[in-house]
Amino acid sequence: MSAVRRDLLPDSAWVDGSGSLWIGGCEVTALAAEYGTPLFVYDEEHLRARCREAVAAFPDGAAYATKAFLCGAMALLAHEEGMQLDVATGGELQVALRAGVPADQLIFHGNNKSAYELAMALDVGVRHIVVDNADELDRIEHLHHASGVVAKVLVRLNPAIEAHTHEYLQTGVADSKFGFAVEGGVAADAVRRVKGSAAFEFAGVHAHIGSQVYATSSFAKTIEVLGAFAGDTDASELSIGGGLGVAYVGDEQAPTITQWGEAVRDAAVAAGVNAKITAEPGRSIVASAAVTAYSVGVMKPIAGVRTYVAVDGGMSDNPRPVLYGSGYEAFLARATAAERDLAVRIVGKHCESGDVIVAEAYIPRETAVGDVLVTPVTGAYGHSMGSNYNMVVRPPVVFVRDGFARLVVRRETYDDLVARDLVIG
Ligand code: LLP
């Protein structure tokens, strides 16, 4: 196996004469030595460039889907680059607000928003609440009766479009917990109810068909359905959600955010839509901006079977291989351009056999215990879906740029692990 594909690495990645990987002007082995491993390393300029690309591709509004990766620094960065933020729980809302993002730049999502979360969103004055179901409409009306507050809403439609992606990542199909079905008039009834009630101000419609979608035609189809539906309402905004896929391994190719925007705009023109078109990318903003650096702790050859390489993280910092069977590449930070001629299985340190990071990996034969192993394209849904399984402490996050590293999330400590435990100590 040849060296890792350059475009799977962050924009600023550079390999020096000795084969060592640098990101944002910082050598990854040096970062690993300074901050320890596992470590998430994000290329700050790459993040900023993707945010700017999204704002240019969707000039009517681009919201960063914070579920992909959220911390104060990321919330602020996306805001500074002109993005709105999509938050899907009270927790995400709080992190964004505490980072200093103005409430009118926040879009509040969720398929089961509690009365508490809704009250909080209305109280701070979020830009839009994306209403998802009839019970949520009841809850907002109830809040309106109590306080007189009016919710500016997008109505989430289920357009029943089958995006070509993992079943768990698909949301637009008819059999889904998300949104009001277009089919059967459920969504039309919801819009009628919203428009007829003093509790709501109707701003438009929304659909999110799934995640890790490569086919821009699926988004074009979504615009057709949204446009046709919205034609009968006075929706001033159509949001096509997020979902643009990224390349993770080998020969995968994904459209750019710019191409995504063009495809969506072309579809809108063809469908005669003149409402504002907005989008909510998450993965495509952050995924390839980051790599995870691990240390190799164990190399265990099993004669006639395979070699297991155990690293110091695992399903607690990247649950995607376990959850979705997602593939990743791996390579040595100190020998980035080296031929990868040893077939191994890279596993974590958790107490279960399924704790696999890369099931069929190729790494250089020279790999040894103590080496820094890197998995690229780990910027989305790794840190954010991390856990404390086996009481493993969660890794820190550094942003690197122009030769400087900025620790934006510190490593969890053993004290953090017992901070909520009322019986210890
Ligand atoms: N908007 C809504 C309403 C969403 O539900 C999502 C993602 C997004 C935007 C952003 O989608 P993106 O551009 O990131 O694809 N944990 C899974 C992905 C779940 C996505 C959930 N919703 C994974 O690791 O692949």
* pLDDT per residue as tens digits for the range 279-292: 999 999 999 999 99
| Among 67-81, 218-232, 333-347, the least confident range | 218-232
Helix (H) or strand (E) run with residue 74 in it: helix 72-80
| pLDDT at residue 168, rounded to an integer | 61
| pLDDT at residue 51, rounded to an integer | 99
Domain extent listing, the chain:
6-43+287-418, 44-286
The pair of structure tokens assigned to 7 is 């475009």
* Bridge partners for 21 per DSSP: 15
- Over residues 259-275, the mean pLDDT reads 96
CA of 31 from ligand 1 middle (Å) equals 30
CA of 381 from ligand 1 middle (Å) equals 9
Residue 170: pLDDT over 70:
no
> Could you tell me the sign of the dihedral formed by the alpha carbons of 366, 369, 372, 378, in that order?
positive
- Over residues 206-211, the mean pLDDT reads 96
- Over residues 46-54, the mean pLDDT reads 99
Question: From the DSSP assignment, how many helices (H) and strands (E) are in the chain?
Answer: 12, 21
Residue whose pair of structure tokens reads 């190399």 in the numeric block: 299
| pLDDT at residue 162, rounded to an integer | 78
User: Is there a contact between 353 and 49 (Cβ–Cβ < 8 Å)?
Assistant: no
User: Is there a contact between 23 and 13 (Cβ–Cβ < 8 Å)?
Assistant: yes
**CATH number attached to the domain at 44-286:** 3.20.20.10
Q: How confident is the model at residue 166 (pLDDT cuts 50, 70, 90)?
A: low
Coil vs helix vs strand at 347: strand
Residue 221: pLDDT over 90:
yes
* Whole-number percent of the chain with pLDDT over 90: 94
Distance from C-alpha of 225 to C-alpha of 180, rounded to nearest angstrom: 13
CA of 376 from ligand 1 middle (Å) equals 19
Distance from C-alpha of 252 to C-alpha of 340, rounded to nearest angstrom: 19
Cβ–Cβ contacts within 10 Å for residue 171, how many? 22
| Mean of per-residue pLDDT scores for the chain | 96
Name every protein residue with a CB atom under 6 angstroms from any ligand 1 atom. 65, 67-68, 86, 109, 169, 208, 211-212, 241-244, 280-284, 320, 381, 385
* Whole-number percent of the chain with pLDDT over 70: 97
The pair of structure tokens assigned to 281 is 């990318």
The pair of structure tokens assigned to 200 is 């709501």
pTM flag (> 0.85): yes
What secondary structure does DSSP assign to 306-326, as a single string?
A: EEEEEES--TTT--HHHHH--
Give the CATH number of domain 6-43+287-418; options: 3.40.47.10, 2.40.50.140, 2.40.37.10, 2.30.30.60.
Answer: 2.40.37.10
- Over residues 391-404, the mean pLDDT reads 98
- Over residues 56-68, the mean pLDDT reads 98
Q: Which residues, other chains included, contact 383 with Cβ-Cβ below 8 Å and sequence gap of 6+? A: 40, 69, 71, 317, 394, 395, 397, 409
User: Is there a contact between 327 and 358 (Cβ–Cβ < 8 Å)?
Assistant: yes
Distance from C-alpha of 425 to C-alpha of 75, rounded to nearest angstrom: 35
Residue whose pair of structure tokens reads 């004669």 in the numeric block: 303
Distance from C-alpha of 234 to C-alpha of 222, rounded to nearest angstrom: 18
| pLDDT at residue 236, rounded to an integer | 95
Q: How confident is the model at residue 425 (pLDDT cuts 50, 70, 90)?
A: low
Distance from C-alpha of 149 to C-alpha of 163, rounded to nearest angstrom: 37
Distance from C-alpha of 167 to C-alpha of 70, rounded to nearest angstrom: 24
| pLDDT at residue 117, rounded to an integer | 98
Residue whose pair of structure tokens reads 């005669």 in the numeric block: 272
The answer to whether residue 351 is catalytic is yes
- Over residues 47-54, the mean pLDDT reads 99
User: Which of 165, 164, 170, 140 is CA-nearest to residue 152?
Assistant: 140
Atom number in ligand 1 closest to CA 212: 15
Which of 67, 92, 130, 168 most suits a substitution to test ligand 1, by most atoms within 8 Å of the C-beta?
67
